Homo-oligomer: A and B are copies of this chain.
């Protein structure tokens, strides 16, 4: 069997603690299932800045490019609030997304039944919630040029960011959304602001054309992004797959994540295009939550989002579908049993730390 190469970037804050629990699962899979994972590890974010003066080193970028999949923890923290813009912790993540061409960000917003009560929404609105947000990740205002601050004199500065989308970028992300919808409820809702933004006009046109050309079996709906935010709060279960641009995706996926009451549990996958020869996609997996510097190093962080991100890795990078299902099932079982980290604590549940949570999931796996 060929080796399965994983590159681990735990990052800052609670990233390393959460990643530690994934390492246990990898070791178990190598031992018990002969999975053949080979891991290497690097630095990203503030920890990379401290070591190399950059948010990720060239050497680690090369390793990320060469790996079958990257597992990413989290970056940032108050310690690096004042480092120069170009080397701020987030720059490492943004460079990985861009240089690996990870244009398709998959963010499932599911509500674990055991956690429905933790949502700020009424339980009946979120019980059984299962949305997949497909966010474009390498274009839009995140990377468009010019992106500058200019001194105009007279004490005035001018800041410019540029939202740019080309037809092919919208085509490929909508294709991913339609493909995913076919494996689910076969419905896609595309969100933009075509009433204000030219990129919204083009987005709407290209999604519509892609649908007509190749995916007319999928039900397609269009919604203005602001109305979409409202509808997510009003009746989230109306959605199956949502496809949207980089910035709207950032906002909408965070709102959707919070709806589930399961924020500390939500994973994400960022995928590239299939390689023309091998069919393999470059990929990076990361929890939706951030680095939570306030609780870092205390052994109390919830590792579930990181573990669920590894489950997505098993599914999308290695086609280990059964193993992915089992790992996701293990997480749900542990929650059903009332084992909880502090962030999802409930009356009558058993409160555990990061490693106990990891152990409990491993025991169910």
Contacts and interface: CB of A to CB of B under 8 A. Distances in A.
Interface string A180-200: 000000000000010111110
A38 interface: no
Contacts of A229: 229, 251, 254-255, 258
A149 interface: yes
Interface string A274-303: 000000000000000010000000000000
A263 B198 contact: no
A207 to B, nearest CB: 13
B257 A161 contact: no
Nearest to A94: B196
Given A121-B121, A195-B90, A254 B227 contact: yes
Contact of A233 (B120, B122, B201): B120
Contacts of A225: 251
Chain A, interface size category, equals 35 or more
Contacts of A234: 120, 258
A33 interface: no
A257 B230 contact: yes
A164 B160 contact: yes
Contacts of A215: none
Which has the most chain B C-beta neighbours within 10 Å: A125, A165, A248? A165
Contact of A258 (B167, B201, B230, B257): B230
A225 to B, nearest CB: 7
Contacts of A125: 120
A32 interface: no
A235 interface: yes
A7 interface: no
A202 interface: yes
Given A120-B235, A197-B141, A229-B229, A152 B166 contact: yes
Which has the most chain B C-beta neighbours within 10 Å: A197, A202, A251? A251
Interface string A250-266: 11001101110001000
Contacts of A142: 196
Interface in A94-110: 94
Contact of A155 (B147, B162, B167, B250): B167
A162 B193 CA distance: 14
Contacts of A258: 229-230, 233-234
A159 interface: yes
A158 B198 CA distance: 9
A120 to B, nearest CB: 5
Given A230-B254, A230-B263, A247-B247, 5 more contacts: A85-B198, A142-B196, A155-B167, A161-B197, A233-B255
14 contacts: A88-B195, A120-B235, A142-B196, A149-B201, A155-B167, A158-B166, A159-B197, A162-B163, A163-B163, A196-B250, A230-B254, A230-B255, A233-B255, A248-B251
